[in-house]
């Protein structure tokens, strides 16, 4: 008989940028995996409202989206007694550590980031904060001695830079930071746009192919029934050649707890498949919508959760900032 020592739960951190309404892709790709993990991992979730300021923004909208996303996370089942939930800007240690890390990052390194190049190319006025965006992200992660960061493809390079900065700082100034790893969330589904199934949901211009978390049932129905499929007569799971159908199967599988390939055989044609998707998605979103409405009636409650979260986050972060200041040569 082998006896394995009980392992300490890993500290996991997720940041959500409050720039838009949360949608089904966020729920199945990031939020639900995090909520399932909160009983196994030491979970930290925060709203990256400072990151939302790195491109042209509407102040009122950022504030509204920050509260909306916090409310949605709670409605979806994030347990504030279990996980730490807060808004980045309410924890000044993020920006304090950000500056120290800027002193351990090269201009060229930041300038080479693919996301910076893409976003900068699409704008006339590029904010300086867009260049240092990944350094702030490194601060978010390193602040909490984070061990694991669930990341999709688009944030992988930023996570690599975070590791580089941590290793360099530790090598130059002595052991200071836990070096984190980027991980793929175990049970995440990659959800594509219903109207443009080769693009990730939420990344395309118009919202026609996006199911938002708070969409009413009739809107969900309309969007799913209009989803792009193809001219085949039978349902098959071939993501490469038939991305639209594959996406519907992926969504259904994530909702009912099955695999897309196994479900493909259950449907003679696209009509029944789409009706099943409507029912499954509405079944998944209905309780979240209901709970959201209850929570939204008392914004004082959500604000209190965020304030208490910020206080706990400051406690957790203060030690790291102190260590980093001492190490880099400041009077701590």
Residues lying near ligand TRP in the complex (CB under 6 A): 13-15, 17, 48, 51, 137, 140-141, 149, 155
Question: Is 325 an active-site residue?
Answer: no
- Of 200, 274, 293, 325, catalytic: 200
> 266, 252 in Cβ contact below 8 A?
no
Range 265-272 contact pairs with CB under 8 angstroms and sequence separation of 24 or more: 265/235, 267/235, 268/234, 268/235, 269/233, 269/234, 269/235, 270/229, 270/235, 270/245
- Of 119, 274, 293, 325, catalytic: 119
Question: Is 10 an active-site residue?
Answer: no
Nearest to 34 by CA among 65, 75, 66, 73: 73
- Least CB distance from residue 249 to ligand TRP, whole Å? 26
Cα–chain center distance at 221: 26
Question: Is 200 an active-site residue?
Answer: yes
Minimum CB distance to ligand TRP smaller for 13 or for 179: 13
- Least CB distance from residue 237 to ligand TRP, whole Å? 28
In residues, how long is the chain? 332
- Least CB distance from residue 180 to ligand TRP, whole Å? 9
Dihedral sign for Cα 218, 220, 226, 231, please.
negative
Assign 316 to helix, strand or coil: helix
Q: Which residue is nearest to ligand TRP (CB)?
A: 15
Minimum CB distance to ligand TRP smaller for 48 or for 305: 48
Q: Give me the half-sphere count of Cα atoms (radius 13 Å) on the Cβ side of residue 131.
A: 13
Encoding tokens for residue 284? 């998944």
Minimum CB distance to ligand TRP smaller for 35 or for 48: 48
- Residues 28, 33: Cα–Cα separation, whole Å: 7
- Least CB distance from residue 137 to ligand TRP, whole Å? 4
Minimum CB distance to ligand TRP smaller for 149 or for 276: 149
Minimum CB distance to ligand TRP smaller for 74 or for 161: 161
Alpha helices by DSSP H, the chain: 24-26, 32-37, 59-75, 93-102, 107-111, 114-121, 128-131, 133-143, 156-173, 217-225, 243-256, 260-264, 270-296, 299-328
- Least CB distance from residue 73 to ligand TRP, whole Å? 14
- Of 203, 223, 293, 325, catalytic: 203
Surface-to-core class of residue 289, CB atoms within 10 Å of its CB (0-12 exposed, 13-18 middle, 19+ buried): middle
Minimum CB distance to ligand TRP smaller for 143 or for 302: 143
The catalytic site residues sit at 119, 200, 203
């Amino acid at each position: 008989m082998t006896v394995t020592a009980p392992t300490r739960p890993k500290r996991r951190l997720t940041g959500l940028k409050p720039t838009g309404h949360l949608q089904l892709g966020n729920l199945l790709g990031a939020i639900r995996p995090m909520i399932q993990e909160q009983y196994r991992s030491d979970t930290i979730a925060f709203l990256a409202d400072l990151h939302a300021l790195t491109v042209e923004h509407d102040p009122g909208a950022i504030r509204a989206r920050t509260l909306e996303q916090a409310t949605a996370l709670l409605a979806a089942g994030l347990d504030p007694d279990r996980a730490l939930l807060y808004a980045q800007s309410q924890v000044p240690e993020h920006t304090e550590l950000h500056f120290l890390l800027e002193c351990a990052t090269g201009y060229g390194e930041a300038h080479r980031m693919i996301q910076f190049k893409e976003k900068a190319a699409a704008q006339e006025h590029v904010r300086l904060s867009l260049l240092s965006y990944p350094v702030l992200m490194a601060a978010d992660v390193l602040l909490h001695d984070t061990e694991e960061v669930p990341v999709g493809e688009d944030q992988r390079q930023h996570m690599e830079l975070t590791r580089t900065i941590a290793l360099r700082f530790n090598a130059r100034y002595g052991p200071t930071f836990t070096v984190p790893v980027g991980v793929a969330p175990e049970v995440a589904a990659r959800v594509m746009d219903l109207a443009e199934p080769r693009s990730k949901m939420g990344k395309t211009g118009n919202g026609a192919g996006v199911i938002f978390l708070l969409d009413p049932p009739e809107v969900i129905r309309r969007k799913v029934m209009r989803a792009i499929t193809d001219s085949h007569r039978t349902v098959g799971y071939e993501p490469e050649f038939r991305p639209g159908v594959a996406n519907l199967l992926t969504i259904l599988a994530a909702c009912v707890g099955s695999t897309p390939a196994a479900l493909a055989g259950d449907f003679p044609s696209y009509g029944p498949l789409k009706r099943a998707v409507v029912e499954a998605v509405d079944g998944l979103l209905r309780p979240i919508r209901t709970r959201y409405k209850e929570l939204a009636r008392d914004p004082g409650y959500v604000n209190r959760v965020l304030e208490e979260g910020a206080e706990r986050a400051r406690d957790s972060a203060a030690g790291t900032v102190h260590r980093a200041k001492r190490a880099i040569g400041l009077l701590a």
